Amino acid sequence: MKEIAKQKAASPDAKIIQFGAFAKSKVEAGGLEAMYKKAHAEIRKDPARKAKKAAKAGAKSKAYNVKRLTHKERTDAAKKKVAALRKTISK
C-alpha cells in the first residue's frame, strides 16, 4: 500500500492495476491494517458463518442440451412441415 502511495505521488494520472480495488475504495496504507483488525475482531465476536442471501432470480440459463426427439416426433414434425408447404403451394 505504501508503494501505491509513492506511485500516486509520482504520477497521479497513471493507472494502478495490481491494487486498483483498494485505490477505488480509497483504502490508505494505514487504513488497511485497521480494516483487517476490525474484520478479525468481528469474526472473533461471532465465529459462526452467516447464511448467504439468496441470489435474486435473474435470467434463465441457456440450455444447450436440447431434448432429443423420438423418431415418431421427428416424422410427425416433418409431415406437418410438408403439409404446410403443400397448403401454401396450392394457393
Cβ distance 39 to 18 under 8 Å? no
pLDDT of amino acid 80: 97
Q: Is the pLDDT of residue 75 over 90?
A: yes
How many Cβ atoms sit within 10 Å of the Cβ of residue 28? 14
Where in the chain are the domains?
2-45
Separation between Cα atoms, residue 26 and residue 23, nearest integer Å? 5
pLDDT band at 14 (very low <50, low <70, confident <90, very high): low
- H or E element that contains 17: none
Give pLDDT tens digits for 36-68.
898 899 999 988 888 888 777 777 777 777 788
Give pLDDT tens digits for 15-29.
666 777 777 777 776
Give the residue from 26, 50, 61, 74 showing the smallest Cα distance to 5: 26
Cβ distance 29 to 1 under 8 Å? yes
